[in-house]
Amino acid sequence: MTRHKIALREEWLAARTALLAREKEHTRIGDALARQRRALPWVALEKPYTLQTADGAKTLAELFDGRSQLLVYHFMFGPSYEAGCPVNSSIADSFDSVIPHLKARDVTLVAVSGAPIEKLLAYRDRMRWGFNWASSYESDFNGDFGFSTSLEQARDAIEPILDQLPAVAFRNAKDAGTDIYGYLTELFGFTSFTLEDAVLYHTYSTTGRGVEFLMPYYGFLDRAPKGRDEEEGWQLWIRRHDEYDSE
């Protein structure tokens, strides 16, 4: 027998109406945050960046592909990885479906990772993705924006807090074919740029739960009866899309 509260339809409608008021307020807060996000000052990029792609070396400006706005997902796939991070892979699953709509609004979306381009493209083929994926392996780009570090830097940062890291970090490192130090040479995140009058500007960056908008399954689960149902197993349930049936 369920231990959840049971009600008649009229009582449910009253509770739902009260919740709807809070949901509408949440959307208004989201709108205000979006305006504040767009109002952030821009930073002009003076340093040139060149990344490797499936079509060869491309400057950051060329990655815009003729549009004025560039969105970058910093995908955790470092030089020591043999495969992409499972959680980052779940995020990237949605990219191909939204790219046509973003293009219609003058926006280009690409992923950037620290591993050599050959590894990225092989993994992209395995996952059957089509989005543009650029390598910063021989570029300062990911490091300058705080999304890649050296193995030594990662080790120095992680050693003091090793016992505080979530279990999913160790699981992801193992599934990516590296150790925890190699795994955390990369950080996930999202960065926005614009190109105006031939000048490149950095407009926005986020990480942590700031990238949750890229994880649509959480929006669905938040509306399911059991919610995310993660408890102590935060994100441990997330797999690459071709691995769920193997368990």
- Summarised one tens digit per residue, pLDDT across range 22-75 is 999 999 999 999 999 999 999 999 999 999 999 999 999 999 999 999 999 999
Section 168-184 average pLDDT: 98
Q: In which band, very low, low, confident or very high, does the pLDDT at 246 lie, cut at 50, 70 and 90? A: low
Reported pTM: 0.95
CB 114 within 8 A of CB 187: no
Q: In which band, very low, low, confident or very high, does the pLDDT at 245 lie, cut at 50, 70 and 90? A: confident
Does residue 5 carry a pLDDT above 70? yes
Does residue 247 carry a pLDDT above 60? no
Q: In which band, very low, low, confident or very high, does the pLDDT at 6 lie, cut at 50, 70 and 90? A: very high
Section 161-165 average pLDDT: 96
Beta strands in the chain (DSSP E): 43-44, 50-53, 56-59, 69-74, 107-113, 133-135, 189-196, 199-206
Does residue 243 carry a pLDDT above 70? yes
Q: In which band, very low, low, confident or very high, does the pLDDT at 232 lie, cut at 50, 70 and 90? A: confident
